[in-house]
Amino acid sequence: MIMLKALFRERVQLIRDFVKKRGFDGLLLSRCDNFSWFTFGARNHITLNTEVGVAHIFVNNESVYIFTDNIERKRIEKEELCEDLLSEIDFGEYIWSKNMMDVLKPFITGKKIISDTGMLETTNLGDEIKPFRFVMSTIELEQYTDLGRICDEVLNRKMKELRPDMTELEVQGIIYNALAKENIEPIFVMVSGEESAKLYRHNLPRNVRLGKKVFVSICARKKGLVVSMTRSVLFEKDQSLLDQHKQNCYVDAIAISNSKPGVKLNYVFEKIKEAYAEVGRPYEWMLHHQGGLAGYKAREIIANESTIYELKVGNVLAWNPTITGTKSEDTIALTNEGMKIISYFENSDWPCVEFKMNGLSIKRPDLLVVSKKVI
Domains of the chain: 2-132 (3.40.350.10), 138-369 (3.90.230.10)
Using only C-alpha atoms, the chain has a radius of gyration, in whole angstroms, of 22
Distance CA 63, CA 139 (A): 24
Task: Give the single-character DSSP code of 133.
Answer: G
Following DSSP, what letter does each residue of 67-122 receive, concatenated? EEETTTHHHIIIIIS-GGGGGG-EEEEE-TTS-HHHHHHHHHTT--EEESS-GGG-
pLDDT at residue 373, rounded to an integer: 66
At how many degrees (to 10) do helices 2-21 and 138-159 cross? 110
Residues 230-270: pLDDT tens digits? 999 999 999 999 999 999 999 999 999 999 999 999 999 99
Q: For the chain, where are the E strands, in sequence order?
A: 26-31, 52-60, 64-69, 90-94, 113-115, 123-124, 185-193, 213-222, 225-234, 291-294, 301-302, 316-319, 322-323, 326-327, 330-335, 338-341, 352-357, 360-365, 368-369
Burial of 372 (0-12, 13-18, 19+ CB in 10 A): middle
Q: What's the helix, strand, coil split of the chain in %, to 5?
A: 35, 25, 35
pTM for the whole thing?
0.96
The answer to whether 199 and 118 have CB atoms below 8 angstroms apart is no
pLDDT in tens, 170-181: 999 999 999 999
Dmax (CA) of the chain: 71
Q: How many angstroms separate the CA atoms of 23 and 80, rounded?
A: 32
- Residue 176 neighbours by CB distance under 10 Å: 15
What Å distances lie between residue 209 and 9, 189, 216, 290, 304, CA to CA? 52, 16, 14, 28, 35
The pair phi, psi for residue 216, each rounded to 5°, is -120, 125
DSSP one-letter code for 14:
H
What is the pLDDT at residue 271?
A: 98
pLDDT attached to residue 178: 98
Residue ranges of the chain with pLDDT lower than 70?
A: 1-2, 372-375
CA distance 227 to 186: 10
pLDDT value at residue 374: 60
Q: With CA atoms as reference, report the closest residue to 179 among 152, 141, 200, 197.
A: 152
